[in-house]
């Protein structure tokens, strides 16, 4: 799209030069050959039209790029919200079957259903993790970027999400062993659960930076 607009702009400039040449040539004609008023008027009108069209196309191009930048920004923020929700749901699902003080012993059917939910959420989070990384990379292409502090927040979030997923996998395996064959002790399960809770807290703290800032404090857009 941008390349096409560039060619159109070049074309309109060439047309403008052409008509400017016609007008200049007519103005420089010798007195014995009077200038045709209708031709001169047409040339001027055509030149003005070309200049207006060129300006309109240039402004439209700039506006379209900014519009696309805002759309990418909206997608980035929406993905942050989805990640926050998914991380919380993974923690809640694990909490429901972990042998924590005050929890009742879950039935086998409930444990099996919870494992299915956890597995689905883990896949969702993995996709969201990749997606937000891709969206962030697209920002620069459309003339947008994160401010320095939120660039740092993004990098920190990527690390925390990776660690959260690693621990979630370990906890999932420990819970599986705990409920099926007893190869994992309660202490081992609780250690992994505590790690998961800590990473959940870190992710929430990082994401809180977005909630406490306006869009203009998170992003910059060229032009």
pLDDT tens digits along 14-29: 555 555 555 555 545 5
Residue 91 and residue 18 share a domain: no
Residue 51 and residue 117 share a domain: no
Residue 90 and residue 23 share a domain: no
Looking at 23, 47, 62, the residue that finishes a domain is 62
With 0-12 CB in 10 A as exposed, 13-18 as middle and 19+ as buried, what is 8?
Answer: middle
Residue 126 and residue 28 share a domain: no
pLDDT number for residue 116: 97
Residue 117 and residue 74 share a domain: yes
pLDDT for 39-93, tens place per residue? 556 656 555 555 555 555 554 445 555 666 788 889 999 999 999 999 999 999 9
Residue 99 and residue 160 share a domain: yes
Residue 75 and residue 47 share a domain: no
pLDDT band with cut points at 50, 70 and 90 for residue 153: very high
pLDDT number for residue 32: 46
pLDDT number for residue 62: 53
Residue 181 and residue 108 share a domain: yes
Q: How far apart are CA 216 and CA 74, in angstroms?
A: 12
pLDDT number for residue 215: 79
Looking at 12, 31, 62, the residue that finishes a domain is 62
pLDDT for 95-132, tens place per residue? 999 999 999 999 999 999 999 999 999 999 999 999 99
Residue 38 and residue 122 share a domain: no
Specify the 3-state DSSP secondary structure of 212: coil
pLDDT number for residue 173: 96
With 0-12 CB in 10 A as exposed, 13-18 as middle and 19+ as buried, what is 17?
Answer: exposed
Q: What is the CATH number of the domain that holds 140?
A: 1.20.120
pLDDT for 163-211, tens place per residue? 999 999 999 999 999 999 888 899 999 999 999 999 999 999 999 878 7
Residue 58 and residue 143 share a domain: no
Strands 219-221 and 144-146: antiparallel
Residue 127 and residue 49 share a domain: no
Residue 76 and residue 47 share a domain: no
pTM of the model: 0.71
Contact 147, 217 (CB under 8 A): yes
Half-sphere exposure of 68 (CA within 13 A, CB side): 17
| Type and span of the H or E element at 45 | helix 37-97
Looking at 11, 34, 62, the residue that finishes a domain is 62
Specify the 3-state DSSP secondary structure of 220: strand
Q: How many domains does the chain have?
A: 2
Could you list the residue range(s) of the whole structural domain that residue 44 is in?
2-62
């Amino acid at each position: 799209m941008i390349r096409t607009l560039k060619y159109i702009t070049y074309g309109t400039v060439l047309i403008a030069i052409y008509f400017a040449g016609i007008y200049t040539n007519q103005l420089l004609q010798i007195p014995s050959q009077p200038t045709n008023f209708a031709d001169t008027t047409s040339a001027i009108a055509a030149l003005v039209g070309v200049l207006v069209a060129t300006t309109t196309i240039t402004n439209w191009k700039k506006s379209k790029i900014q519009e696309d930048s805002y759309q990418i920004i909206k997608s980035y923020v929406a993905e942050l919200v989805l990640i926050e929700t998914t991380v919380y749901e993974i923690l809640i699902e694990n909490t429901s079957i972990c042998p924590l003080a005050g929890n009742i012993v879950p039935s086998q059917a409930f444990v099996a259903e919870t494992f299915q939910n956890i597995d689905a959420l883990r896949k969702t989070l993995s996709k969201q993790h990749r997606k937000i990384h891709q969206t962030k990379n697209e920002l620069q292409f459309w003339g947008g970027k994160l401010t320095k502090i939120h660039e740092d927040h993004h990098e920190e979030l990527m690390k925390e999400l990776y660690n959260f997923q690693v621990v979630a996998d370990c906890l999932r395996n420990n819970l599986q062993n705990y409920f099926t064959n007893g190869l994992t002790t309660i202490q081992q399960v609780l250690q992994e659960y505590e790690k998961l809770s800590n990473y959940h807290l870190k992710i929430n703290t990082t994401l809180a930076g977005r909630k406490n800032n306006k869009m203009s404090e998170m992003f910059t857009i060229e032009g």
